[in-house]
Each structure stands twice: as structure tokens, then as C-alpha cells.
Amino acid sequence: MEWSKPLSALALIFMVIAALIFYRLLSQFKRLKEGDSLTNELSNELQKKLKKGITLFVIGGILGVVGTLI
């Protein structure tokens, strides 16, 4: 069975989801004003979103490489 196409498609899905998370994170940072201070709650929320985006991006990259090598 050909595994490269499904793995590449899954990698693309993970990369697109990660890109959407990063885009939302960037737009949330753009809404902050110059004098605003980050609360611990907002900082923890942004940190979780960043970790989720990086994790999905890495998983997508690994699946893309595995799909290419198969």
C-alpha cells in the first residue's frame, strides 16, 4: 500500500493548522497596545498556544519527511 500520499496529506493538514494557530497568535499580539502589560493569565494562554503550534508544526514536518522517504 502506498503510504506516502496519506502521510503527506496529513503533514499538510498539521502544517495548515499550525499556521492558523501562529496567525491567530500574531493577530492577538498586534492588538496589544504599547503600554499594555502582560498578565500571568494572558502569558500562560499565549505560551500554551505557542507550544501547540510548534508541536503541530514539528509533527507535520516529521510526517512530511517520513512520507517523502517512503
Q: How many residues does the chain have?
A: 70
pTM for the model stands at: 0.79
Whole-angstrom distance, CA of residue 63 vs CA of residue 49: 21
Q: Are 57 and 14 in contact (CB under 8 A)?
A: yes
Measuring CA to CA, which residue among 1, 2, 6, 19 is closest to residue 64? Answer: 6
For the chain, give every domain's residue range. Answer: 4-29+39-69
Tell whether the torsion through CA atoms of 48, 22, 69 and 1 is positive or negative.
positive
Over residues 19-58, the pLDDT tens digits come to 999 999 888 888 877 777 777 888 788 889 899 999 999 9
Whole-angstrom distance, CA of residue 59 vs CA of residue 11: 7
